[in-house]
A = this chain, B = another copy of it.
Amino acid sequence: MPVRDPVFDPPFNVVRASHVELGVRDLKRSRAFYVDCLGLLVGDESDDALYLRGVEERNHHSIVLRRSREADVRALGFKLASEADLDRAASWFARRNLPTSFPDVPYQGRTLRTADVFGTPLDLYARMEQAPSMLQKYAAYRGARIQRIDHLNCFTPDVQGAYDFYAELGFRLTEYSETDGADPKLWAVWLQRKGNVHDLAFTNGSGPRLHHVGVWTASVLDIIHICDVMATSGYLANMERGPGRHGISNAFFLYVRDPDGHRIELFTSDYLTVDPDHAPIRWSLTDPQRQTLWGHPAPASWFEQGSLFTGVAPRLPTLAAQPIVAH
A: residues with CB less than 8 A from B are: 2, 5, 8, 13, 15-16, 37, 56, 58-59, 79, 81-82, 84, 126-128, 130, 133, 135-139, 141, 147-148, 194-195, 218-221, 224-225, 227-229, 231-233, 236-237, 239, 243, 245, 247, 250, 252, 268-269, 271-272, 274-279, 289, 293-296
Q: A229 contacts B139, CB within 8 Å?
A: yes
Integer count of this chain's copies in the complex: 4
Query: Closest Cβ of chain B: how far from A126's Cβ, in Å?
Result: 7
A227 and B294 contact, Cβ closer than 8 Å, known pairs A139-B233, A274-B16, A289-B236? yes
List 12 interface pairs A-B (beta carbons < 8 Å), by A numbering: A15-B276, A16-B275, A148-B272, A195-B195, A195-B274, A219-B221, A220-B220, A220-B224, A221-B221, A224-B224, A228-B294, A243-B243
Q: A138 contacts B295, CB within 8 Å?
A: no
A231 and B293 contact, Cβ closer than 8 Å, known pairs A8-B82, A274-B15? yes
Q: B275 contacts A231, CB within 8 Å?
A: no
Q: A250 contacts B295, CB within 8 Å?
A: no
A79: chain B residues at CB < 8 Å are 275
Q: A135 contacts B277, CB within 8 Å?
A: no
Taken together as a complex, chains A and B put the C-alpha atoms of A194 and B82 apart, in Å, by 18
A252: chain B residues at CB < 8 Å are 224
Query: Closest Cβ of chain B: how far from A171's Cβ, in Å?
Result: 14
Taken together as a complex, chains A and B put the C-alpha atoms of A300 and B225 apart, in Å, by 27
User: Residue of B at shortest CB range from A81?
Assistant: B276
A232 and B138 contact, Cβ closer than 8 Å, known pairs A148-B272, A295-B239? yes
A243: chain B residues at CB < 8 Å are 243
Taken together as a complex, chains A and B put the C-alpha atoms of A128 and B194 apart, in Å, by 22
A237: chain B residues at CB < 8 Å are 295
Q: B231 contacts A271, CB within 8 Å?
A: no
